[in-house]
Amino acid sequence: MAKLEIKIYPDPALRKKARQAGKVGNDERKLAYDMIETMRSSNGVGLAAPQVGISKRIIVVEDMVGNNKIALTLINPKITQKKGKVKFCEGCLSLPGVSSDVIRPEFITVEALNLDGDMFKINAEGLLARIIQHETDHLDGILFVDKIGFLKRKKIIKQFGAKVCMEF
């Protein structure tokens, strides 16, 4: 496994819609394992392939089962149901040092392929639902700052200094 370089905003890779992953094979498995190592070594709870410069619809997320952390890989994830609304503070490995409250559905159903290429479904709520939604947004070139008010977004973007191109 290898630690990958996380792209930092405003890297153009973060704004591109990722391509569907094809047949799940060794390349996808290696990428997923490398993404998990990168996520964990960066103290993250989720990571999307575009965040490491790879245009594939692959995300990894950290979940708690009892007292144990487990990493889930979702390939070509599709959120099929959303219910409720809840506000919670989010951050992002691609926007280091910033966070903001974001309103998202509280409950979701997501379908994806696993590392064996088999379809599975997850009913998620709370933090896991939020992480999956946040990472799935990355696959469509959407950042959490796109989901907050203009003035707050502008203030956050300013924290990145002169290298940031204002997109408003």
Active-site residue list:
135
Termini Cα distance of the chain: 39
Cβ within 8 Å of residue 138, ≥6 positions away: 14, 18, 48, 50, 51, 59, 94
Biggest distance spanned by C-alpha atoms of the chain? 45
Q: Are 46 and 60 in contact (CB under 8 A)?
A: yes
Alpha carbons 162 and 2: distance in angstroms, whole number: 32
Unique residue bearing structure tokens 């959303």: 82
Unique residue bearing structure tokens 């496994």: 1
b/e per residue 32-59 (b: at least 16 CB within 10 A): bbbbbbbbbeeebbbbbbbbbebebbbb
